[in-house]
Amino acid sequence: MQIVKAAVAAALATLALSASAMTPIQDTELSAVSGQDGVSIAANLNIKMDSFVYTDTDALDANGMGGGSVSFNGIKVKGLIAASIDILSKNSFLAAAGAAGVTNPGTFYSPTTGGDVVQIAIPADVQVGAGKLLNISVDSIKMGNNAASFGSVAMNQVDLRGTQVWIWAH
């Protein structure tokens, strides 16, 4: 009985392996395959940064001016963001750039020799709950080693919907 069970298990394992084997596909067969393109990304951001410090390394002049630093402390970025990533052909990119208001893409992209372009877009129609758009805040802004603060900064409900970013090699 054990031998029969082992033989059945081996046969089933062989069937499972042969059923999942990958086989090459020819270009002619592949051209008939269609599917969805692009990648979508969604994130609920909760980023906290202790500080961002800018330091001026200039030497002090005769009046004691130069050098110093400013620090932005308690930086927070919170909110929802969704984006899609697609590959655009040259013609699709030129059409998208034109729709965005670009009147002369030749100043940064060659309309004759340019290639495909990666587009990262935050769709204009993404529905976001009230109060859930991007919020950016800085708790304090200080000069040098001074404990006194110039105050805080907040940018609330930053709406990036409809934004497009294009990336290409050159």
pLDDT at residue 141, rounded to an integer:
94
Q: How many CA atoms lie within 13 A of 120 on its CB side?
A: 9
What does the pLDDT average to over 136-146? 91
Instruction: Report yes or no: 158 and 133 within 8 Å, Cβ to Cβ.
Output: yes
Average pLDDT, the chain: 82
Q: Which two tokens stand for residue 72?
A: 């932005």
Helix, strand, coil abundance in the chain, percent, nearest 5: 20, 35, 45
Q: Which residue's structure tokens are 């500080």?
A: 51
The band of 152, judged by pLDDT with boundaries at 50, 70 and 90, is very high
φ/ψ of 168, rounded to 5, equals -150, 160
Q: What is the pLDDT of residues 83-139, one digit of tens each?
A: 889 999 999 999 999 999 999 988 889 999 999 999 999 888 888 888 888 999 999
pLDDT at residue 127, rounded to an integer:
86
Task: Find the range with the poorest average confidence among 26-35, 72-81, 88-97, 105-114.
Answer: 26-35
pLDDT at 9 over 60: no
- Fill in the amino acid letter for 20: S
Could you tell me the CA-to-CA distances from 64 to 1, 49, 56, 59, 147 in Å, in that order? Answer: 96, 32, 14, 9, 21
